[in-house]
């Protein structure tokens, strides 16, 4: 049951093999998202908005899913890591490789977008405005938000220990996250497509060349 599988696990009971790939994934994430910005400030930025983006409404209430994504990533990646050593290495190696691909994209094709002016006064408008102030509208393609949730969903669906309800919950949250990125106008539709393409390509390369084997022998 999920209690034995995840909730009841204490920090000292978590397997040592998971910490290096999780730590490396976090480090690469910070490097990719924040480290590239100072180096691309003076470069030409591109707006990948398409016709479909003008048809997508601005729905501030979806900010709840955008913020919930941060919780999903912690729960999702720890859960995936607890499945088994091999599974942890396979999924997280793909995630790290995908993030490095994102880093390359941020340098090669810097992106930006024009976000709407927030005039509402609801709690959702206020939360969206906070996100806008904290997160500049660049480093958009591929969407890291979508990429991380895709890995959580993809990884959870492949697990054998997780119960069905947990898998469906992860799918539901992921779908909400995907929708939130375009409905709060933090990303354009092509950013989501790019995230899925990069994630799947990274997983394919990692499995094809068995890059996850690099983690074996590290941790117990």
4 falls in which pLDDT band (50, 70, 90)? low
Q: Give the pLDDT score at 13.
A: 72
Question: Is the previous residue joined to 142 through a cis bond, with omega within 30 degrees of 0?
Answer: yes
Beta carbons of 219 and 16 less than 8 angstroms apart: yes
pLDDT digits (tens, 9 = 90+) for 109-133: 999 999 999 999 999 999 999 999 9
User: Residue 12: pLDDT above 80?
Assistant: no
User: Is pLDDT above 70 for 7?
Assistant: no
pLDDT in tens, 160-206: 999 999 999 999 999 999 999 999 999 999 999 999 999 999 999 99
Q: CA 60, CA 76: separation in Å to the nearest integer? A: 25
DSSP letter for each residue of the chain: -HIIIIIT--GGGS-GGGHHHHHHHHHHHHIIIIISHHHHTTS--B----HHHHHS---GGGHHHHHHHHHHHHHHHHHHHHH-HHHHHHHHHHHHHHHHHHHHHHHHS-BB-PPPPP---SHHHHHHHHHHHHS-SBS-SS-HHHHHHHHHHHHHHT-SSS-HHHHHHHHHHHHHHHHHHHHTTSS-HHHHHHHHHHHHHHHHHHHHTTGGGGGTTS--
- pLDDT confidence of residue 220: 47
Split at pLDDT 50, 70, 90, the class of 219 is very low
| pLDDT score for 216 | 79
Say whether pLDDT at 214 is over 90.
no
In whole angstroms, how far apart are CA 159 and each of 22, 104, 130, 153, 164?
Answer: 18, 30, 36, 10, 10
Q: In a 10 Å sphere around its CB, with 0-12 CB exposed, 13-18 middle and 19+ buried, how is residue 12 labelled?
A: exposed
* pLDDT for 47 beyond 60: yes
Burial category of 75 from C-beta neighbours within 10 Å (exposed 0-12, middle 13-18, buried 19 and up): middle
pLDDT at 129: 97
pLDDT in tens, 62-116: 999 999 999 999 999 999 999 999 999 999 999 999 999 999 999 999 999 999 9
Confidence (pTM): 0.93
| C-alpha of 125 from chain center | 23
pLDDT reported for residue 106 = 97
Cα–Cα distance, 141 to 133 (Å, whole number)? 19
> Are 135 and 143 a contacting pair, CB within 8 Å?
no
């Amino acid at each position: 049951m999920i209690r034995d599988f995840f909730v009841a696990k204490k920090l000292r009971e978590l397997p040592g093999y998971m910490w290096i790939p999780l730590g490396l994934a976090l480090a690469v994430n910070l490097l990719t998202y924040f480290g590239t910005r100072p180096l691309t400030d003076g470069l030409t930025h591109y707006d990948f908005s398409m016709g479909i983006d003008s048809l997508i409404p601005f729905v501030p209430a979806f900010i709840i899913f955008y913020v919930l994504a941060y919780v999903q990533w912690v729960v999702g990646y720890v859960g995936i890591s607890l499945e088994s050593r091999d599974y942890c290495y396979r999924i997280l190696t793909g995630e790290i490789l995908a993030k490095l691909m994102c880093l390359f994209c941020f340098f090669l094709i810097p992106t930006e977008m024009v976000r709407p002016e927030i005039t509402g006064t609801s709690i959702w408008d206020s939360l969206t405005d906070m996100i806008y102030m904290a997160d500049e509208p660049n480093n958009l393609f591929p969407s890291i938000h979508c990429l991380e949730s895709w890995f959580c969903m993809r990884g959870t669906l492949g697990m054998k220990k997780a119960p069905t309800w947990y898998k469906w919950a992860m799918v539901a949250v992921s779908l909400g996250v995907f929708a939130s990125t375009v409905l709060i106008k933090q990303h354009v539709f092509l950013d989501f497509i790019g995230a899925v393409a990069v994630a799947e390509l990274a997983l394919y390369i990692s499995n094809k060349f068995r890059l996850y084997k690099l983690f074996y022998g590290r941790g117990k």
